[in-house]
Amino acid sequence: MNGADLDLLVLGSGVAGLSAAVRAAETHHMRVGVLTKGELSQSATRWAQGGVAAVLHTDPDSTDLHLADTLRAGAGLCDPEAVRVLVDEGPVRVEELIALGAAFDRDEQGRLMLAREGGHSLARVVHAGGAATGAEVERALVAAVQRTAAAIYEFHFAVDLLVEGGRCCGVRAFDPGGGAIEVRAANALITTGGAGQLFAVTTSPVEATGDGIAMALRAGVAVADIEFVQFHPTALHHESMPRPLLSEALRGHGALLRDAKGERFVDELQPRDVVSQAETAVMIAQGVDHVWLDATGLEEFDQRFPTIAAELRSVGLDPATDWLPVAPAAHYTCGGVVTDLVGATSLPGLWAAGEAACTGVHGANRLASNSLLEGMVFGPRAVEAIEAGVVGPAPTGAMRAVLAGDPPGPPGGSGHGPLPGAAGAPTVGSRLLTWGGLGAAVGATGATADGTEATSGATGATADGTGATADADGGSRGDEPGGGGGERSRPFAAPVEDGPAAIRAALQRAMTNGAGVVRSGASLAEADRGLRSARFDALAAGPPSGPGAVAVCEILNLVDVGHAVVLAATAREESRGAHSRVEFPEPRDDLRLRLVLA
């Protein structure tokens, strides 16, 4: 069909996008297209093991307790209004999914079985097949979309947003044969997931290359909280990739974390950032590359967690007798494209939901099993806003950081003030960072630790504290990208003849070493140089068109999102939630703010 006939083009096929597509087509009879770079059922949603967190049994639980747990995990940067929407509307969305045919685990009396996971004060997480929740959610939604969508574009790769007259009107894309096409629609919804493939060790599928976030950045759409990358503490330490995930529910049922000496070292039910950082500290102190998850005390493991049990036995591990080697792995991008409470971005006609979005729900760290719920809640909210004729964002949710930023810190404290033209309701503070990619020299303005204004290159500071200026082609002045000339300035460079796979692996090593669980100013500068090398090498390997174009475009998307992560992480001179700086180990009241890149 002609893409111009679409009322809504959904980019991505995870829970957020498919939930929105079903509601748009079934409830409002919109002409909906879904564009995905793989099969319709191939998304990060199907890898989700933990479950969906929602208050379905109200005694002794309540939505107020769910809200409090979410705010606590978010380390001061959640938007309470957005969290309230999540916890209040979540139970209804779960019931709707059950009505579509999703089969969650039930007890002998037919009641939904609930599990407790890290950061939750009570058991409120529903599962399917023990640890196959994402696959079941995806199955139910895919079937519904196949019945109702007007157009499904499988194996199509979105390259950039189409913007005309200050409004998004679709995307430029490659079709399955590599041909350049345009898919036009009155509205586009980014639900392309996160950027877990920025890191060498990740639970995310190979498709998680931050495509939607990168497209938004290049179009000048506001992005925030991108420095907060959640590392899951119990990914199986094994050569397979994406790393098999040992669900949070194992620890909720009593599995224990032990160090190389067999000693416990952390409360296993703390939020993920706390546990991952504790693991990293132990691994560094003991000179090991993993710790142990002891699940030998769990009863009926095979019946309760059949998917995990089968995966463990496939690599020769028996959870009944073996301690399981685990280590942190990149798991979730907490920030993304800034939206208001109905999914509107700073570009009219463009909407976002799910892991690609920054709604204000997660703040500095996502509470376990809130991710599927967020997609199920905010994807459909965008559809309702489109149906109601909403054009452009309102100063609600995380969008207040763009349209209504206020002073950071506790009420009554002094701060850096709102963004230009801002006005509206109180929220956490905000600061604007200028993002220009690695293809041009731009400035990033913010306040230094002593309160004075400072401008740094968008590339970040070098290890010795000096700035690096980029040429228009993305390389610093010198013989090689990264400045100074010579291979010594490109520690993560890949031989161009090795192709995109080697370039991508080098980029992942740079980000893992420099912008992983624990960061420093010097390590972030090294990561920046790795990103420059990757961009230089990707462009040298071939232009982003024709055969092999998608592989090159994915690297360039990873570079753009990685640069945003490094830029924001460099500016955030504190440790908060999923962001840990060794030289700034404590949170700062004056940095209780949202860093907005535009």
246 and 220 housed in the same domain: no
> Would the pLDDT of 447 be above 70?
no
Q: Is 472 exposed, middle or buried (0-12, 13-18, 19+ CB in 10 A)?
A: exposed
75 and 211 housed in the same domain: yes
The one-character DSSP state at 269 is T
Helix, strand, coil shares of the chain as percentages rounded to 5?
35, 20, 45
Identify which has the larger pLDDT, 411 or 294.
294
201 and 153 housed in the same domain: yes
Domain count along the chain: 3
320 and 338 housed in the same domain: no
Q: Write down the pLDDT at residue 320.
A: 95
Strands, E, within 12-156: which ranges?
32-35, 52-53, 114-115, 125-126, 151-153
- Stretch 182-211: mean pLDDT, rounded? 96
- Quick one: three-class SS letters along 217-242? HHCCCCEECCCCEEEEEEEECCCCCC
Identify whether 576 is part of a domain.
yes
% of the chain surpassing 70 pLDDT: 81
**pTM: predicted TM-score of the whole model, two decimal places:** 0.84
Identify whether 405 is part of a domain.
no
200 and 271 housed in the same domain: no
What residues pair up with 11 in beta bridges, in sequence order?
Answer: 35, 190
Single out the residue of 284, 281, 290, 186 nearest to residue 237, CA to CA.
290
Identify whether 223 is part of a domain.
yes
- Is residue 446 classed as helix, strand or coil in its secondary structure? strand
30 and 98 housed in the same domain: yes
Identify whether 434 is part of a domain.
yes
- Using an 8 Å Cβ cutoff, are 567 and 460 in contact? yes
The one-character DSSP state at 419 is P
Identify whether 400 is part of a domain.
no
338 and 476 housed in the same domain: no
> Would the pLDDT of 20 be above 60?
yes
376 and 508 housed in the same domain: no
To which H or E segment does residue 90 belong? helix 80-99
> Would the pLDDT of 414 be above 80?
no
> Would the pLDDT of 370 be above 60?
yes
550 and 573 housed in the same domain: yes
* Final residue before a domain boundary, out of 277, 293, 327: 327
Which range marks the domain in which residue 480 is found? Answer: 430-597
Identify which has the larger pLDDT, 497 or 81.
81
CA dihedral for 500, 503, 509, 510, sign (positive or negative): negative
Identify whether 265 is part of a domain.
yes
Identify which has the larger pLDDT, 394 or 493.
394
32 and 57 housed in the same domain: yes
Query: CA 572, 228, 422 angle in degrees (round to 5)?
Result: 65
What amino acid is encoded at 171 in this protein?
A: V
How far is the C-alpha of 306 from the C-alpha of 126, rounded, in Å?
Answer: 16
pLDDT in tens, 324-339: 999 999 999 999 999 9
CATH code at 492? 1.20.58.100
143 and 259 housed in the same domain: no
Q: Write down the pLDDT at residue 498.
A: 67
* Final residue before a domain boundary, out of 296, 327, 358: 327
- Does 272 participate in catalysis according to the annotation? yes
Q: Which of 23, 93, 272, 431 is catalytic?
A: 272
Count the Cβ atoms, other than its own, within 10 Å of residue 423: 11
CATH code at 279? 3.90.700.10
Q: 9-18, 291-300, 414-423: which range is least confident on average?
A: 414-423
Identify whether 20 is part of a domain.
yes
Q: Write down the pLDDT at residue 113.
A: 87
259 and 216 housed in the same domain: no
Q: Write down the pLDDT at residue 139.
A: 77
CATH code at 371? 3.50.50.60
Task: Report the b/e string of 323-334 with b at 16+ CB within 10 A.
Answer: bbbbbbbbbbbb
Specify whether the backbone of 146 is left (phi greater than 0), alpha (psi in -120 to 50) or beta: alpha
* Final residue before a domain boundary, out of 275, 304, 327: 327
Computed over every residue of the chain, the mean pLDDT equals 84
> Would the pLDDT of 177 be above 50?
yes
Torsion of CA 474, 479, 485, 487, to 10 degrees: 80
How far is the C-alpha of 309 from the C-alpha of 315, rounded, in Å?
Answer: 10
